[in-house]
A and B are shown apart, each in its own frame.
Chain A
């Protein structure tokens, strides 16, 4: 299993990369390579040109400005996992990254690569959806920003034009004291999730939920925000019954099935995992005094 031949190009700057991407035929960007190289080794993907973004230092980095986070496309998964700021301000990201691959793949894998590859079970897609992130795409034509809701176009097909590079993803942080949880079901650590759930919520000074976000991964082409569940949670006091009902609602969602994992099974797991995720998120949330 050796890749078909291609020509390798090293990009040093974003301009370099967009220039090459605009001018070369059948070209593909290489970021962490942890999915792409495997697919090229299997000859599922064959390209004529491979443009390496790894040397583009301006694409890497975590920037937090007050309540806004910006992650450069080439930020490594390990860098995020080890960032103290992320751990404190957005702990759900750290929790989610714990499910992403293994030490060896997190050392190379990047945020942008994961979002651009758009595996249905991509944890970072789930995170982006949980935070209503915006994705910035750059080409020789300029820059454009796509909201995560408009980003998935189909199975492993993101809303990226052939000449565009995913340069960064940005989103607003949740307030201190928010509850969070990320969990996923896979038989082995680091495998593609059958179902993953991310949830965040805040409690007001009466202990009622005043903000909630719940997302499923692995069940559809892209992450699925459970808007009906979120609405049903607002104004309620966390309880076993409440979260049990949330699980049942999640299980009503259409889900994909394939030869190995059925849609019904995904629903069953989603039911349990939404309940468990919300239960834990609520337990972690501190009541916020609005006084």
Chain B
């Protein structure tokens, strides 16, 4: 008899019934008796000191219960800043945020006081009444200018804006540049945007004075990091700080970060002895939730006559924003991602991380990779243009061949291990994408359209992405006395349906239906250790742990049943929530009965070697990252009179190894591409020279809508990795990473008749028209 196999199937999501009927429990949906609501008083200046903070009027406002400034916070918090998440010796100035700024604010939106009131409305009323005596200071604007001599410093006690410096590379770069026939140079400038999950952030806290413990709900991707932050801030033991994530309405990176509000709200709850909640609103999200992607690259490629890249060198300036909560991880990822699927003869990059007076930057879907892929892919296009070689051919010539796997690149990845690509077939990936996109016949389509005055273009983006990073993500599997299977994991979903995928993996091992599996996620009280949901790592890490723990529990079930029936374990199987003797009419015993036996039946003696538990824990620790890859091809039409870009066709080849649930991977890819389209042509967080944000509503910062996102044509390749028992790789970011590269290339290709080059993203319509005007060439038709 063959049993249902869930892994590899598009099973329906276990999460949906609640979410489809309004029964989801997001942070702002929690109802706790006596709950108070908080609002923050925030800086209107990018950089300022303040002397006097007058909260007397605010205190007297209706409904107000308390107003706190930095000095009103508990003693244990005084003088403390938020824990640096990823320390690194390259960081010269590891400065993180204070829970509330005490005398200097370094970006618009930094909090200086919190109001706690009976309702959010009243808290906001009182926030308006706080009078701050501001003394504005010069602000560090874009990271490029921030590093120039004499630029204003982002923090008044610093002498310059350098946050970190490092270099990395491999091979003999000088030799490459000496020998190359062609040196091709370009400057690339990707811009800031942010994640904008539809649910903003939020924190809710209770302090239990009897046991001196916190219970904190946070809309976060990483409850265990928040726990570490709170433990550090309050000097409490881990077991007194429980962080629970309710349903999380999207993350995309910025919720993978410990925020000041996650310290201040528990402090308020402790001081007041009542539950306190703060729900971030969209305006605060624009001002205070971390962003990413401002960088400046100066790159030179040493190339021979045939377009082979002998060496690539240059510099990268990365904008850290005002603080360094995540250290220098993103520019490090950027720098190591550049070579991608290509065999560069040599590589050298000098990285400077710059402080600015803008909201801090932390990993955002892709985490430094979209920029790296953008510069590498744009460089391939430029090489093709300079040497009159088709851009696809330039890439073909430089690909790492499939038979070179596993391929050691020569760099060290962020996990400290050398970059070794495990599996993948990069040339084949591009071939498949080009074939599906009709790349060979595109010149005819382009020429025909041009005759009608329409400008079509095509562009390619290839990428390799390190996913599934350690250190670990654990799982505990337990058989309950009602026969159901409980899975506890540190994984914290924000829409990725981890409950479903993990249930699939577990159900297959235990021979139960996925509806018999209850997955508990994102609760430090249920799973003491965890890392969090970022870097496309959950299926790899938590998935592998679930598998291992499930197998162990299965072994325990079989062992007990074998003792009971007095048969060999090999004669038994787990099917439909039973352990039964193989064969036609074999005896069987339910999981429930076995669980009851282990929980101790009076007078029943446990068989030899059986411990009173039907439970197992596993912490999968991957030896290194596993590398997903893919190729995107975009076909666009550009209206050169307005700069409007329309995406006509979008092909994705995606290789994330084995797939647990194809429809979920489809959703990650399609949604990721939508985000990438935003990063390519829509979403730009604009600041003026003094670091004041200018796009602070959804009317100014444009998110992709249903009318602009095409249905991607997605082709899956499967190069399983040997690095984990499931053979899976991460899938959460690959949709986003190469999209700006492919789309911008297509736009540039469409506008070939005007001879423009596009070295920035996103590229907005106005900028396209400006570039055309600046090129000033005749378009050669009409």
Contact = CB atoms under 8 A, between A and B. Distances in A.
Instruction: Indicate if A touches B (C-beta under 8 A).
Output: yes
Contacts of A261: 766
A199 B281 CA distance: 41
B688 A259 contact: yes
B120 interface: yes
Nearest to B706: A189
B605 interface: no
A188 B707 contact: yes
Interface in A34-79: 42-43
A259 B765 contact: no
A265 interface: yes
A192 B699 contact: yes
Interface string B80-123: 00000000000000000000000000000000000000001100
B642 A269 contact: yes
Interface stretch (A1-9, A16-24, A209-217, A218-226): A1-9
Interface string B640-666: 011010000000000000000000000
Contact of B121 (A2, A265, A269, A273): A2
B281 A272 contact: no
A103 B702 CA distance: 19
Between A42, A185, A265, the greatest number of chain B beta carbons within 10 A of the residue's beta carbon is seen for A265
A171 B708 CA distance: 36
B63 to A, nearest CB: 11
Given A271-B641, A272-B642, A191 B699 contact: yes
Majority DSSP secondary structure for residues of A touching B:
loop
Contact of B765 (A3, A187, A271): A187
B766 A262 contact: yes
Contact of A260 (B124, B642, B700, B769): B700
A185 B642 contact: yes
Given A187-B765, A269-B642, A1 B694 contact: no
A43 B773 CA distance: 40
A268 interface: yes
B239 interface: no
Nearest to B641: A272
B283 A42 contact: yes
B441 interface: no
A182 to B, nearest CB: 16
Nearest to A195: B642
Contacts of A188: 682, 702, 705, 707-708
A269 B772 CA distance: 13
Given A1-B283, A261-B766, A185 B705 contact: no
Nearest to A273: B642
Nearest to A258: B694
Interface string B258-288: 0000000000000000000000011100000
B642 A1 contact: no
Given A185-B642, A262-B766, A1 B281 contact: yes
A114 to B, nearest CB: 16
Contacts of B699: 191-192
A259 B686 contact: yes
B702 A187 contact: yes
A191 B773 CA distance: 25
A265 B773 CA distance: 10
Interface string A192-204: 1010000000000
A261 B764 CA distance: 10
Contacts of B121: 2-3, 5
B689 to A, nearest CB: 11
Interface string B280-304: 0111000000000000000000000
B125 interface: yes
A261 B281 CA distance: 26
Interface string A270-285: 0111000000000000
Interface in B548-597: none
A43 B641 contact: no
Nearest to B697: A42
Contacts of A43: 124, 128
Interface in B513-532: none
B682 A187 contact: yes
Contacts of B641: 268-269, 271-272
A269 B283 CA distance: 30
The residue among A5, A268, A273 with the most chain B CB atoms within 10 A of its own CB is A268
Contacts of B773: 268
A31 to B, nearest CB: 20
A265 B766 contact: yes
Interface in B694-737: 694-695, 697, 699-700, 702, 705, 707-708
B686 A260 contact: yes
A265 B124 contact: no
A2 B281 CA distance: 9
Contacts of A3: 121
A4 B62 CA distance: 13
Contacts of A259: 686, 688, 694
Contacts of A1: 124, 281-283
Nearest to A46: B128
Interface in B738-782: 764-766, 769-770, 773
A259 B97 CA distance: 30
B700 A265 contact: no
B642 A189 contact: no
Contacts of A2: 120-121, 124
A187 B702 CA distance: 9
Nearest to A1: B281
A191 B766 contact: no
Contacts of A260: 686, 694-695, 700
Interface of B: 120-121, 124-125, 128, 281-283, 641-642, 644, 681-682, 686, 688, 694-695, 697, 699-700, 702, 705, 707-708, 764-766, 769-770, 773
11 contacts: A2-B120, A2-B121, A4-B125, A5-B121, A187-B681, A187-B764, A189-B705, A191-B702, A259-B694, A260-B695, A269-B769
Q: Which 5 A-B pairs give the minimum distances between C-beta atoms?
A: A272-B641, A2-B121, A265-B766, A1-B281, A259-B694
Given A187-B644, A259-B694, A269-B641, 17 more contacts: A1-B281, A1-B282, A1-B283, A43-B124, A43-B128, A185-B644, A185-B765, A187-B681, A187-B764, A188-B705, A192-B699, A259-B686, A260-B686, A262-B766, A265-B769, A272-B641, A272-B642
